[in-house]
Structure 1
Amino acid sequence: MSKRITPLIMCGGAGTRLWPASREGRPKQFLPLFGARSTFQDTLLRVSDPALFERPIVITNAGYRFLVVEQLAELGIEADVLLEPARRDSGPAIAAGSAFAQTRDDEAVVLALAADHIVRDTNAFLAACRQGLVAAESGRIVTFGVRPERAATEYGYINPGEAVSDQVRAVQKFVEKPDQPTAEDYIDKGYLWNSGNFMFRAAALLDEYRKVDAASVDAIANAVSKAGRDLSFVTLDSDAFGSARAISIDYAVMEKTAHAAVVPVACGWSDVGSWHAVWELSNKDGEGNAAQGDAVFEDSRNCNVATDRALVALEGVDDLVVVATQDAVLVSRQKDANGLKRLVAKLKSVAPQVTADHLKVHRPWGSYQSVDNGERHQVKRIIVKPGQRLSLQKHYHRSEHWIVVRGAARVTVDDLVKTVHENESIYIPMGAVHRLENPGKIMLELIEVQTGSYLGEDDIIRLEDDYRRS
């Protein structure tokens, strides 16, 4: 009987190609782009059959650690969560996950998956995993080659070679993203899309990696062996991991190894790399228009609207993307993904706040959202989950007034501990040591009014914190 597969979910990317919905603080893998669940959650569910898969490993960065835990909990799935001290691309991330998998099972077979991809045919995907498992156990480093649905220029391609086992083929060569005529030629020649997902024995992958960059593999092994524990997270050693060369797994291993193999698969795969890709995957009206949120179309064709605020109405336009969030609106041509990349790069210099986070900011205890601000005041809507509490803290430059809208709040202000109910309020003087917590069974919602000479988030001096934030 074949071994069970250890899923390794790579979940640390920023995903700015779907701005303004996707941002540095909450990138696309955590967004519900197609229904109620995020692509990260759908990826986890895809590899949740205990007959085929082991407990998953998720590798991410510290900034996303509580998003990962929250979305795991929503599914009732447990995982080992590894924290990268810095982004070093997919090569070190996959090597670290593989080295950690060996601490659980020296003969582990690992399935490395991106957290932000879509697979519409799970059964076909699982059948490909079973095909790849046989080759992986024999020492092959297997990738999944998607049978092309069109001559795409946004994907790399794989030229499959001779048969290895059943449907598995050796990789003759990998090729970069082509122009349109070259992509059409690749289709005619039977090339496959390179999905960027892989299966291998952990030991085999690390051996092949070590042949071309032994120093980086040793550094990553040290980062795993010296890893610490922070709450439920595995924290890779910063100095060791940081000394590994930043490189993709394709360049580090796949294009150099003689053991690469490919499983051809048709599973409705997409890396959701642009708003045009979202449009392709969405339900459309008779004129080819897709909408998430409230939208009305008149004499418009092949448009894509995503809005979480006001109704969007389009008249007399074709092939447009309109994305409206609470603090930014994007209007773009459907197929110009490179144009959006250039736009986001410009925004990072002229308006960095709209690329970093949304007005609604998620925290491990809940969320807050700025609803009004001026030179000396700011109004926030704060949500605290049942049983959670904010850090014990103080501010040097602002006072706060809390009004409970829903639920009950237990509030600490210096030596006072008081329960504040709906339609009641409490004042937090400047410099007072204070804490807010939700002792109830329902969400706590309150309005916070800040006044003072400086209202930045860095005027928070944490004295105690359940989440060990500095």
Structure 2
Amino acid sequence: MTGKIVPVIMAGGKGTRLWPLSRATAAKQFLTLIGDGTLFQSTLERVNDNIVYEPPLVVTNEDFRFLVAEQARAKNVVLSGIVLEPVARNTAPALAAAARIVADRFGDDNMLLVLPSDHAIVVDDNYQAAIRAALTAAATGDLVTFGITPTEPATGYGYIELGGHLEQGAYAVSRFVEKPNVQQAQALIDAGSYYWNSGMFLFSAAAILAELELHAPEVVAAADSAVEKATMDFDFIRLDGDAFARAPSISIDYAVMEKTVNAAVVPSSIQWSDLGSWDAVWKIGEADGDGNVVRGNVTVRNTTNSLVISHNAHMGVQGMDGVAVIASEDAVLVGRLDNAQDVGNLVKILAADRKTAALTETHPSSLRPWGGYTSILKGDRFQVKRLFVHPSKKLSLQKHHHRAEHWICVKGTAEVTINDQVTILHENQSIYIPQGAMHRLGNPGKILLEMIEIQTGSYLGEDDIVRLVDEFGRN
């Protein structure tokens, strides 16, 4: 036992409630919605105190592995490891695997602070007091969750009813309540003993593993086997796929918290939001004198109490009240903020139509371990992209069966390998990569490299990549 808290950050979720910015491959936790960092980076910074915390352990999936590593590196945060779930099995199996890894590395008695990676939290005296109270309760073997003082009859959150008083600042959990309708939510608030369920937990590795063994033995058995057979891949801990897949898909609330007699809650008035809808983003944003929260290329006139975000084209909004206008590179959402919880149903309609399904899955901007790209223009047999490559990084040595590429250097210095020839490109210089040629792009400089890539050919899909050499271990 080290005496320090081990943060376990859950960063594998995929969701579209903040469409069109969030999509299956562009999850909310990796978006910059407030401040100058992503929600995941803000979560990392909350636990970046080596006096109190061990380096965090991040649980994510294969698609997000390099994104997690790069966003942690960008904030100079050292990680204990990145655990890769081979299949999605909800929070109980993921936490069981994380708890077993923590127990093996740090000791059974070490505390885990389980944090969703996509919440907005203000770290103040109230927050620190809640952590201390939870630590006191968890030291007695309780499984502690955090209850947030409700400020409105929200229907997007579950609620927790307080029971009897336990340790200082902690209470027994009387019951959990599923997401209510507006009338039910107001009744819960009026009762005065109900708090929002934050989805954050603090408990020892031994306590959570024992309760899983008691209430969900099939979960902990599958997780233990997946950890025992896990392999190391760079900084990634790859859980065994066959073993992990045997775990039922179940949340930690259903598997343990609603069944255990050791559930405790620390009520707190910390400033918290799960940012589960656009109205939640508006509520915590920095508003102007008319109540508008704007981000990006935006001009508003005679508009009040609205959220306007644009990631590309300049957005003008006039004569509106209480609306969300959200523009990504390839889609725009316009709707009332008071109906923001219903965006999911719009996304279902888009996903069901093959002409629009891709808008719910992929985003024009994609991050890679070397940098990333944004699709600027697509047409018949051609596509234009902006590539950006971090200093000292390089793409895989690769080839394409169906397309040729033209690269134009617009910022920085590029090292281009084509078959056996290496060429250095400076700004305003270009090069042609024939179809089928082995090629590689690298950034030997100290500033970000930006390139314009023009693809031409019969097929331009991202799966037309044959990687011959890759420093990131990708096939």
Q: Which residue does 2:386 correspond to in 1?
A: 381
Alignment of 1:438 with 2:443, yes or no, is: yes
Moved more, 301-310 or 248-257: 301-310
Moved more, 60-69 or 370-379: 370-379
Query: 8 Å contact 1:294–1:312 — kept in the other structure?
Result: yes
Moved more, 354-363 or 386-395: 354-363
Deviation at 1:26? 2.1
| Aligned-partner residue type, residue 95 of structure 1 | A
Q: Which residue does 1:116 correspond to in 2?
A: 118
Secondary structure at 2:312's aligned position in 1? coil
Secondary structure at 2:125's aligned position in 1? helix
In structure 2, distance between residues paired with 1:290 and 1:8: 32
Alignment of 1:337 with 2:340, yes or no, is: yes
Deviation at 1:424? 2.1
In structure 1, distance between residues paired with 2:330 and 2:390: 25
Q: Which residue does 1:363 correspond to in 2?
A: 368
Following TM superposition, the consecutive aligned residue runs of length 4 or more in structure 1 with deviations greater than 4 angstroms are: none
Query: 8 Å contact 1:128–1:263 — kept in the other structure?
Result: yes
Deviation at 1:320? 1.1
Moved more, 118-127 or 208-217: 118-127
In structure 2, distance between residues paired with 1:317 and 1:210: 55
In structure 1, distance between residues paired with 2:41 and 2:305: 29
| Aligned-partner residue type, residue 268 of structure 1 | Q
Query: 8 Å contact 2:297–2:313 — kept in the other structure?
Result: yes
Deviation at 1:353? 2.1
Alignment of 1:137 with 2:127, yes or no, is: no
Task: Select which of 171, 183, 186 maps to 1:184.
Answer: 186
Alignment of 1:313 with 2:316, yes or no, is: yes
In structure 1, distance between residues paired with 2:235 and 2:228: 17
Q: Which residue does 2:262 correspond to in 1?
A: 259
In structure 2, distance between residues paired with 1:181 and 1:373: 48
Query: 8 Å contact 1:145–1:265 — kept in the other structure?
Result: yes
Deviation at 1:358? 2.1
Q: Which residue does 1:150 correspond to in 2?
A: 152
| Aligned-partner residue type, residue 289 of structure 2 | G
Query: 8 Å contact 1:46–1:122 — kept in the other structure?
Result: no
Alignment of 1:50 with 2:55, yes or no, is: no
Identity, in percent, stands at 48
In structure 2, distance between residues paired with 1:316 and 1:401: 45
Query: 8 Å contact 1:2–1:134 — kept in the other structure?
Result: no
Instruction: Label 1:122 to 1:97 Cα distance change in 2 as closer, same or farther (>3 A).
Output: farther
Instruction: Label 1:319 to 1:469 Cα distance change in 2 as closer, same or farther (>3 A).
Output: same
Q: How does 1:40-439 map to 2 (within 5 A)?
A: 40-79=40-79, 80-104=81-105, 105-189=107-191, 190-350=193-353, 351-439=356-444
| Aligned-partner residue type, residue 442 of structure 1 | I
In structure 1, distance between residues paired with 2:134 and 2:278: 31
Deviation at 1:5? 1.1
Over residues 245-277 of structure 1, what are the superposed CA-to-partner deviations in whole Å (9 max), with x where a residue is unaligned?
001111010000000001011111111110000
Over residues 407-430 of structure 1, what are the superposed CA-to-partner deviations in whole Å (9 max), with x where a residue is unaligned?
222222122222222222222111
In structure 2, distance between residues paired with 1:361 and 1:309: 15
Count of paired positions? 470
In structure 1, distance between residues paired with 2:261 and 2:143: 9
| Aligned-partner residue type, residue 343 of structure 2 | L
Over residues 162-200 of structure 1, what are the superposed CA-to-partner deviations in whole Å (9 max), with x where a residue is unaligned?
111111111111111122222222112221111111111
| Aligned-partner residue type, residue 380 of structure 2 | E
Deviation at 1:289? 2.0
Moved more, 293-302 or 56-65: 293-302
Secondary structure at 2:67's aligned position in 1? helix
In structure 1, distance between residues paired with 2:288 and 2:395: 45
Q: Which residue does 1:34 correspond to in 2?
A: 34
Q: Which residue does 2:18 correspond to in 1?
A: 18
In structure 2, distance between residues paired with 1:81 and 1:306: 32
Instruction: Label 1:410 to 1:121 Cα distance change in 2 as closer, same or farther (>3 A).
Output: closer
Instruction: Label 1:316 to 1:427 Cα distance change in 2 as closer, same or farther (>3 A).
Output: closer
Deviation at 1:3? 2.9
What is the root-mean-square deviation in Å for CA atoms of aligned residues? 1.6
Deviation at 1:2? 9.8
Query: 8 Å contact 2:216–2:256 — kept in the other structure?
Result: no
Instruction: Label 1:375 to 1:313 Cα distance change in 2 as closer, same or farther (>3 A).
Output: closer
TM-score normalised according to structure 2 size = 0.95
Deviation at 1:51? 2.2
TM-score normalised according to structure 1 size = 0.96
Q: Which residue does 2:461 correspond to in 1?
A: 456
Instruction: Label 1:327 to 1:141 Cα distance change in 2 as closer, same or farther (>3 A).
Output: same
Deviation at 1:304? 1.1
In structure 2, distance between residues paired with 1:256 and 1:166: 23
Query: 8 Å contact 2:277–2:341 — kept in the other structure?
Result: no
- Structure 1 alignment gaps of length 5 or more: none
Q: How does 1:4-15 map to 2 (within 5 A)?
A: 4-15=4-15
